[in-house]
A and B are shown apart, each in its own frame.
Chain A
Amino acid sequence: MVAGFGDLTILHDVSLDVAVGKVTVLLGANGAGKTTLFRAITGLLPPRAGRIALFGEPIAGRAPHLIARAGIGHVPSGRELFPRMPVGVHLDLGARLCPPELRATLRERVLGLFPEIAERLNQYAGTLSGGEQQMVAIARALMTNPRVLLLDEPSAGLAPKVVLSVFQALAKLQDQGMSVLLAEQSMTFGLSVASRAYIIREGRIVLSGTPAELAAERSVVQAYLGA
């Protein structure tokens, strides 16, 4: 896939697979192209060339809301919540894409995953802490009943303890069989949950492998991540 803005090409021939029921991690430094890749997949920045398939169904070039409806759940960087709407309404808005008969069960499961926000359903999202906002963003995406969940740096700007609880929720999601593509800057956090990892640098995939393989080449990976 190739993507960019105007005359600027950000992603050069990027190719990756998200395994069904597994967490795939995309590791890269700031500005490596992680968010651009996510925006290309979700249709917010339609790719210049290439193919994006969701369980074999081509989705590149569709309008972004149709890609969401096709089953790509997106937790964007910066969370993109509705600051003056209650947490509960965020879940309702996500649930618009979920078949009505599944909504109640899904809501229960999502709130079970994030008990912290279950107590705050009537609170405006803008008044929550950063960690809680991240949980609301993930919960909103999960309520769409996605076939693949895209998580764009859920750890950004959060205290390590909060990051830990977000990643614990992620591990539980994987146990429930959710297919996840996770963008992350931290090798330690990223590899801790993933079954496969891709390293992106300057818009190109430069390395990929299982966490064990990449951990063996720790210094190379660290160099690519600019750490």
Chain B
Amino acid sequence: MIVLQLVVNGVLLGGTYILLAQGLNLVFGVMGIVNLAHGAIITLAGLFTYWFATQTHQSPLLLIPAVFIAMLAIGAVLQRLLLEPLAKLGGKGELLNLMVTFGLSYVIVETALNFFGSQYVSLPDLQTTWPVGGLAFNEALVAAGAFGALISGCLHIWLHYTASGQALLATSQNPTGAVTCGIDVRRMRGIAFALGTALAATAGVLLILILPLSAPTADTLTILSFVIVALGGLGDYRGAVMAALLLGLVQSAVGYYLGGDVEVVVPYLLLITFMVVRPQGLGQATR
């Protein structure tokens, strides 16, 4: 029974990780850059949700559509102003991209510190645990996992079965080839970053229900998301789903049998193991 419960916890945790990583993965896949501000966006959205819920006493889930749409717009503007000028530089722009997104992360974290302070906060919403057949399902984890699955499902359908999604997928696999089909690669970069930002913020709204967040959590979340993206094969979104589930399962088992201290290093140990054994990641990756 305990094994089953660990599997349930692991899958639900994995679902949350999918939510965390998918935005970063999309940005990397299409733009070839690691968005170091990813964790800061998640954290800022989480802290904003905390503020909203404590001020208005409304369910934080109500925020999701508004946050998603607002962050689509903000992401598009940020990409156009900060990152697009670097895209022309090609390989030379890589370091500059890292510096710009790192700077952005710093600005967001400092702003969050000013507005929300440095204390860790968490929302007590959705803390019911449902007993199903002797197993316990935490409501917040189920909500996050369900959103992770929903978002990955939508991404899959969009990328494979719609014209605009196929154009984005084509750009991520081969920008030159995409241009020959008349695809505006610049626009695709904008869409990818806007979506990546919106997905990160959505993850933040849900994460505040699961983990205590504070402005400095940003870096940990960026690193954790990057580990999942790297395990999945850098830009391969199906690989990222597998990586998130694997990480969730291993972490929940290790946490139970070996304790919390070992649990926190699991992502990094997994990453190192993969770099040695299967450097292309879990996906089908042929980049």
A interface with B by C-beta (< 8 Å): 42, 44, 63-66, 68-69, 73-76, 79-85, 89, 92-94, 96-97, 126, 140-141, 144
Contact = CB atoms under 8 A, between A and B. Distances in A.
A97 B182 contact: yes
A64 B176 CA distance: 9
Interface of B: 163, 166-167, 169-170, 173-174, 176-186, 284, 286
Contact of B173 (A44, A79, A85, A140): A85
B173 A144 contact: no
Contacts of B182: 65-66, 68-69, 96-97, 144
Nearest to A78: B176
Given A89-B166, A92-B166, A97 B181 contact: yes
Contacts of B178: 82, 93
A74 B184 contact: no
A89 B178 CA distance: 12
A79 B286 CA distance: 15
Identify the interface centre among B163, B181, B183, B186: most chain A CB within 10 Å of its CB: B181
Q: Which 6 A-B residue pairings sit nearest by Cβ, starting from the closest?
A: A80-B177, A82-B173, A68-B182, A93-B181, A69-B182, A80-B176
B84 to A, nearest CB: 13
Contacts of B184: 63, 65
Given A65-B184, A69-B182, A144-B181, A76 B176 contact: yes
A79 B166 CA distance: 18
Contacts of B183: 65, 93, 96
26 contacts: A42-B179, A63-B184, A65-B179, A65-B182, A66-B182, A68-B179, A73-B180, A76-B177, A79-B177, A80-B177, A81-B174, A82-B177, A83-B173, A83-B286, A85-B166, A85-B173, A89-B166, A92-B166, A93-B167, A94-B180, A96-B183, A97-B182, A140-B180, A141-B180, A144-B180, A144-B182
Given A73-B180, A81-B177, A96 B167 contact: yes
Given A73-B180, A81-B174, A85-B170, A65 B185 contact: yes
A60 to B, nearest CB: 16
Contacts of A144: 180-182
Given A82-B169, A89-B166, A68 B181 contact: yes
Identify the interface centre among B169, B176, B179: most chain A CB within 10 Å of its CB: B179
Contacts of B166: 85, 89, 92-93
Identify the interface centre among B178, B180, B183: most chain A CB within 10 Å of its CB: B180
B180 A68 contact: yes
B233 to A, nearest CB: 11
Nearest to A95: B181
Contacts of A83: 173-174, 286
A42 B182 CA distance: 11
B174 A44 contact: no
A225 to B, nearest CB: 27
Given A82-B169, A84-B284, A93-B166, A74 B180 contact: yes
